[in-house]
Amino acid sequence: MSKQIIFISKDYQIEADHPNYTLQTFVGGKKGWRNVGFYSSVKSAVKKFIELNPLDEKEMTLVEYADRVMASAEDIVKKGVK
């Protein structure tokens, strides 16, 4: 199976090479992408991305948080997966 790239944001992507999923951040220049961590599922890689990139508001209910995370995920899906 060939590697696939899942773009999360302009600065983060997941390199999917089943059963390995690598969260990467863009550092620019000749280096391009740097590995943040290696995971056994897309879910784990996205969880780490969320930990590294918290939502702007510092206080919200659990339901509000879940709604915003889902809205963010829906935006990503609408942009497409390459």
What confidence tens digit (pLDDT) does each residue in 32-58 have? 999 999 999 888 888 888 788 766 666
Give the model's confidence band at 23: pLDDT under 50 very low, under 70 low, under 90 confident, else very high: very high
Q: What pLDDT score does 69 carry?
A: 76
Q: Does residue 27 surpass a pLDDT of 70?
A: yes
Report pTM.
Answer: 0.66
Q: Does residue 1 surpass a pLDDT of 60?
A: yes
The three-state secondary structure class of 58 is coil
CA distances from 56 to 5, 11, 45, 69, 73 (A): 26, 17, 20, 12, 15
